[in-house]
Every structure is written in structure tokens, then in C-alpha cells.
């Protein structure tokens, strides 16, 4: 399947970076190169872009789409390790960093990845296919209390207790292996009258995905790393979709602002 992802806030992000043609920039969530392409189009041959993504399929797609540009360094890694990545590249400071947080439309649409509650596939949800933890392990091996915490905090799921109770009842009988199996369990747990308020599995799938990929816990430190890696006039642009992401980013900004 082709990696298609329409970049959000593209014009605003490029404007926010205020790109210098000879500068050094980082796209910490390269994805399908939607934002990256616009960045390198502004850069001169002396400028440099470092593209980072934990999803190797996304990175390979970006390499293909940007093959005509020679001033890009591709890194299969996580933006949570931004500082060490730049140190390995012997880069001290950069002029701009972009982070587009969350899951991409490709990852949701690609059936084998197990992100979508609309398709039947193995419970996976890993952005980095090399990591060991999968959604299947979270659903089948986490304690009842830990699952409740995840659904409540990461999914803000109103019916988290009922959903987790049904999950635990089912996994005693048989391992929960597919997205379809999980969806059916959730549907049985959510009151009928609430099923008109969006898909009943939406919040649970979001919560499990966030847990599998550890999307929230390191985020505040990631933002602080990014700020430390910028030049005095450097720009940091972060796109968030979830209230927890937004909160972590704003807290990091506030803490760094107090140091000035």
C-alpha cells in the first residue's frame, strides 16, 4: 500500500519555521515527507534537512519521494532521542524543528498494522515494527487496573470500567488476537444509547495505541530536548491532536520560559 498522508497545517508550519535557505532543519516525524518536501524546496543546496521517523516504511517512502534532493539525512529513530541523534550526526544546533504528533492516515489505513477499528487485522499498533510490545500483549497481559488507567487517562473513555471488565472476562476464555474481536467486546460493554456518539471503539483504540508507542510519557522531555538543540533564533513547530499531547507540550514551554 502506498504511504499517503496529507500534511496538516502545512502552510502554517512552514511559515512558523521561517526557513533560512542555508539553515539546518529537523522533521522529527517525517512520515510520507509532506512537510519535509516543502522544507527542502525552500532550502538551498547548502541547507540541510534531517528527517526522523520510527516507521521504516514511512522513511523508505520519503527517500523515494525526495530522491532528487541530496541535502537530506534520513534517520530511523524516535524524536524522543533527538539530542543523541544530532550528537551522532555531529550537529550541535539547528535552525528549526517540526513535530507532527500522533498516528498517520497511512498507518490507520494499512490493514496489517492493526491501528484501525474499522478493519479486521492482528492487534499490533506498533509505529516501529522492531519494538516488542504490541496491542495484543497490552490487551491480553496487562492487569485489569492498568488497563483501566490506560483507557481512562489516554482514551478519556467514559465506560472504561465496563470495557476492561469485558476484556478480562473474554481473555480468560481465549486470547484476544484481532481488532475485530476487540471491537466486538467493546460494543458489548458500551451502552446502546451511546453508540450514536461516534464509534464505540474509538477511544479505546486511541488509548491502546498511545500505550503501545509510549506517545505521552516522554513528550515533555522531547520538547525540552528540542529547545536545547535550537540556535538562539531557532524555531520549534509542534502539531498536536490530543489533549494530553497539547498539555505536555504547553507544560514544557511554560517550564522552559520560566528559566529565561
d(CA 99, CA 30): 8
3-state secondary structure 172-217: HHCCCCEHHHHHHHHHHHCCHHHCCCCCCCHHHHHHHHHHHHCCCC
pLDDT at 1: 47
Q: Which residues pair with 53 in a beta bridge?
A: 76
- DSSP class of 71: S
Contacts of residue 71, defined as CB under 8 A and 6 or more positions apart, other chains included, come to 40, 43, 45, 46, 47, 48, 49
The grid cell for 19 is 526557513
CATH of 119-213, one of 3.40.640.10, 1.10.3720.10, 1.10.150.170, 2.60.40.1260: 1.10.150.170
Q: Which residue, among 179, 176, 167, 117, has the nearest Cα to 143 in the 3D structure?
A: 167
Percent of the chain with pLDDT over 90: 82
pLDDT tens profile 126-151: 999 999 999 999 999 999 999 999 99
Question: pTM of the prediction?
Answer: 0.89
Check for a shared fold between 10-102+216-258 and 119-213.
no
Q: Which residue, among 72, 71, 92, has the nearest Cα to 82 in the 3D structure?
A: 92
One digit per residue, the tens of pLDDT, for the chain of length 260 reads 455 556 778 899 999 999 999 999 999 999 889 999 999 999 999 999 999 999 999 899 999 999 999 999 999 999 999 999 999 999 999 999 999 998 876 677 777 889 999 999 999 999 999 999 999 999 999 999 999 999 999 999 999 999 999 999 999 999 999 999 999 999 999 977 555 678 999 999 999 999 999 999 999 999 999 999 999 999 999 999 889 999 999 999 999 988 87
Q: Which residue, among 150, 153, 118, 156, has the nearest Cα to 135 in the 3D structure?
A: 150
pLDDT at 196: 60
User: What is residue 72's three-state secondary structure?
Assistant: strand
**Residues 95, 27 contacting (CB under 8 angstroms):** no
The grid cell for 18 is 521561517
The grid cell for 96 is 528549526
Specify the long-range contacts of residues 189-192, CB closer than 8 Å, at least 24 apart.
189/159, 189/162, 189/163, 189/165, 190/159, 190/162, 190/163, 191/159
d(CA 13, CA 238): 8
* 257 burial level (CB within 10 Å; 0-12, 13-18, 19+): exposed
The domain segmentation of the chain, as residue ranges, is 10-102+216-258, 119-213
Which homologous superfamily is 10-102+216-258 in?
Vaccinia Virus protein VP39 (3.40.50.150)
d(CA 85, CA 79): 8
d(CA 26, CA 30): 9
Amino acid at each position: 500500500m502506498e504511504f499517503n498522508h496529507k500534511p496538516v497545517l502545512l502552510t502554517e508550519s512552514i511559515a512558523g519555521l521561517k526557513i533560512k535557505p542555508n539553515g539546518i532543519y529537523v522533521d522529527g516525524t517525517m512520515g510520507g515527507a509532506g512537510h519535509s518536501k516543502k522544507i527542502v524546496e525552500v532550502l538551498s543546496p547548502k541547507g540541510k534537512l534531517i528527517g526522523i521517523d520510527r516507521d521504516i516504511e514511512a522513511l523508505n517512502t520519503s527517500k523515494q519521494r525526495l530522491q532528487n534532493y541530496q541535502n537530506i539525512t534520513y534517520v530511523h529513530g524516535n524524536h524522543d532521542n533527538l539530542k543523541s541523534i544530532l550528537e551522532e550526526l555531529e550537529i550541535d544546533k539547528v535552525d528549526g524543528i517540526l513535530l507532527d504528533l500522533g498516528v498517520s492516515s497511512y498507518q490507520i489505513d494499512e490493514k496489517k498494522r492493526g491501528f484501525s477499528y474499522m478493519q479486521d487485522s492482528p492487534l499490533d499498533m506498533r509505529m516501529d515494527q522492531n519494538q516488542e510490545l504490541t496491542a495484543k500483549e497490552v490487551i491480553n497481559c496487562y492487569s485489569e487496573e492498568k488497563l483501566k488507567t490506560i483507557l481512562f487517562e489516554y482514551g478519556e473513555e467514559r465506560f472504561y470500567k465496563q470495557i476492561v471488565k469485558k476484556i478480562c472476562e473474554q481473555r480468560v476464555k481465549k486470547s484476544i488476537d484481532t481488532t475485530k474481536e476487540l471491537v466486538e467486546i467493546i460494543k458489548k460493554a458500551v451502552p446502546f444509547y451511546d453508540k450514536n456518539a461516534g464509534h464505540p471503539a474509538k477511544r479505546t483504540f486511541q488509548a491502546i495505541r498511545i500505550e503501545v508507542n509510549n506517545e505521552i510519557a516522554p513528550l515533555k522531555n522531547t520538547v525540552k530536548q528540542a529547545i536545547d538543540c535550537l540556535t538562539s533564533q531557532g524555531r520549534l513547530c509542534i502539531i498536536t491532536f490530543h489533549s494530553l499531547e497539547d498539555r505536555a507540550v504547553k507544560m514544557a514551554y511554560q517550564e522552559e520560559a520560566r528559566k529565561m
